[in-house]
């Protein structure tokens, strides 16, 4: 397994012809199990588009410092602190100069100044710019500040000149990132007594324990076949990540997914609904339980020990039995019931009515209802449109990136938890 597996990489893409290599870099990082959140400078958008970067990373791409949605949660600080490693590729002369001199006039330079993580830069520029005394001074200062570098390499430039200035190839950047992460702690320490004010406001869920279920379950028919659904786990994993950023101790119980584990959360991997329920029970007690997983409602009564073969006759009949109801089980516990129990209602018709019925039937505190019909693009997609259903109240949220849904939901859970104390 790669050292990058489960790591969160913040990729800053600056403006230069080498930006096209950043697309392959994203692919190489994700092949090794890393999640990639990308930031594009205004100049970078002349070479690669936010759409192409988002398509390859599977995550929202950030471009604006003063985004009203993101900055409501201090987005640039969150971006700079949530990563395990910051990679700048390509690192232009302009962006390196800003970092060396503490300038912060756009999103990329601001988060580079605000980060508490190691920075790996892959310079790319014309050879005369690379060899200029000002650039040499900036590189020397950045090395003293702890910035790591890979490249540049010698080669032919887009301008026709030959010499040092070509950005390192994506695999070389991946190798440099793995080396940094393998060395251990990538956090940059602050002087004693600096960083937290004595009376600073605590994170919204500091000291709280949150259990989140995510992804599908796989219910075996035989050793090679199973019953499942199209859940990608993106929404559940995003909720777990948001809860961890809010200061909670997070246990993520994940069905089979193809996305990295969440940094800052303890992940328990399961296959079936019964395994998921056992893992949730083992993680109790908790302050909040968020049941995001799309658990299979039924399983085969007795899975075959060997592969079921075609015989030329009628297809084999499968006797189905109902799986345990994880949400209802947790919601109806006595002493060990979490203070706040949140369920999801994934529906294709009569969304609000079904969600209201589920809220009453399962006896949970709120339901997050979303339309998962094929036309919605929610299953496996990057966005979601949800409705918050509580007793006597329905709140509609606009279509948002799944990460933004997660942030809003975690903030709402913290608010509801605080109300129960008052």
Domain range annotation of the chain: 8-182, 209-307+315-421
At 218-250, the pLDDT tens digits run 999 999 999 998 888 999 999 998 898 888 999
At 283-295, the pLDDT tens digits run 999 999 999 999 9
pLDDT at 334: 87
CA dihedral over 154, 30, 289, 377, signed as positive or negative: positive
Beta strands at 288-291 and 340-347: parallel, antiparallel or unpaired: parallel
CATH 3.40.50.10300, applies to 209-307+315-421: yes
Instruction: Return the residue matching tokens 């930006």.
Output: 19
Q: How confident is the model at residue 263 (pLDDT cuts 50, 70, 90)?
A: confident
Q: For 20-40, what is the mean pLDDT?
A: 92
Active site residue 413: no
Bond before 165 cis per omega within 30 degrees: no
Residue 195 pLDDT > 60: no
8-182 and 209-307+315-421 have identical folds: yes
Quote the tokens at residue 27.
Answer: 């692919």
pLDDT at 74: 44
Residue % of the chain over a pLDDT of 90: 52
The pTM of the full predicted model, rounded to 2 decimals, is 0.59
The residue from 134, 159, 171, 394 that is catalytic is 159
Q: Which residue has better confidence, 201 or 256?
A: 256
**Which of 190-199, 217-226, 258-267, 311-320 bottoms out in mean pLDDT, i.e. has the lowest?**
190-199
Quote the tokens at residue 309.
Answer: 């073969």
Q: How far is CA 171 from the centre of its chain?
A: 23
Ordered DSSP codes for 158-184: TTS-EEEEEPPPHHHHHHHHHHHHHTS
At 52-86, the pLDDT tens digits run 999 999 888 888 876 544 544 445 566 777 788 99
* Cβ pair 88, 120 in contact under 8 A: yes
pLDDT at 288: 97
- The pLDDT mean for the chain works out to 86
CATH architecture, domain 8-182: 3-Layer(aba) Sandwich (3.40)
pLDDT at 399: 84
- If one counts every other C-beta atom within 10 angstroms of the C-beta of residue 238, the result is 27
Cα separation, 368 vs 273, in Å, equals 20
**Which of 8-12, 26-30, 308-312, 343-347 bottoms out in mean pLDDT, i.e. has the lowest?**
308-312
């Amino acid at each position: 397994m790669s050292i990058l597996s489960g790591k969160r990489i913040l990729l800053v893409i600056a403006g230069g012809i080498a930006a096209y290599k950043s697309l392959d870099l994203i692919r190489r990082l994700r092949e090794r199990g890393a999640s990639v959140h990308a930031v594009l400078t205004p100049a970078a958008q002349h070479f690669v588009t936010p759409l192409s970067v988002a398509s390859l990373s599977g995550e929202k791409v950030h471009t604006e410092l003063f985004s009203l949605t993101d900055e409501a949660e201090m987005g640039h600080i969150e971006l700079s602190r949530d990563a395990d490693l910051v990679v700048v590729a390509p690192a232009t002369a302009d962006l390196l100069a800003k970092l060396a001199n503490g300038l912060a006039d756009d999103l990329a330079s601001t988060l580079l100044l605000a980060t508490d993580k190691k920075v790996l830069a892959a310079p790319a520029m014309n050879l005369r710019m690379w060899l200029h005394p000002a650039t040499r001074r900036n590189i020397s200062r950045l090395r003293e500040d702890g910035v790591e570098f890979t490249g540049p390499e010698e080669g032919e430039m887009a301008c026709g000149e030959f010499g040092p200035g070509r950005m390192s190839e994506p695999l070389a950047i991946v190798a440099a990132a793995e080396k940094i992460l393998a060395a251990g702690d990538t956090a940059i320490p602050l002087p004693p007594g600096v960083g937290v004010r004595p009376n600073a406001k605590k994170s919204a869920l500091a000291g709280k324990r949150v259990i989140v279920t995510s992804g599908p379950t796989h219910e075996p028919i035989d050793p090679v076949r199973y019953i499942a659904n199209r859940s990608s786990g993106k929404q559940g994993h995003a909720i777990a990540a948001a809860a961890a950023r809010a200061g909670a101790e997070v246990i993520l119980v994940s069905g089979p997914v193809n996305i990295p584990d969440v940094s800052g959360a303890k992940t328990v991997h399961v296959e079936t609904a019964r395994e998921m329920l056992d893992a949730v029970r083992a993680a109790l007690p908790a302050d909040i339980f968020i049941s995001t997983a799309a658990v299979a409602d039924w399983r085969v009564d007795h899975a075959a020990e060997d592969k079921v073969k075609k015989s030329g006759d009628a297809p084999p009949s499968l006797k189905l039995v109902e799986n345990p109801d994880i949400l209802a089980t947790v919601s109806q516990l006595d002493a060990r019931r979490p203070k706040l129990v949140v369920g999801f209602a994934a529906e294709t018709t009569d969304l609000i009515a079904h969600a209201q019925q589920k809220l009453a039937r399962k006896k949970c505190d709120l339901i997050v209802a979303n339309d998962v019909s094929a036309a919605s693009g929610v299953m496996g997609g990057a966005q979601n449109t949800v409705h918050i259903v509580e007793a006597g109240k329905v709140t509609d949220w606009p279509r948002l990136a799944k990460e933004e849904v997660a942030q809003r939901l975690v903030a709402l859970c913290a608010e509801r938890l605080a109300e129960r104390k008052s």
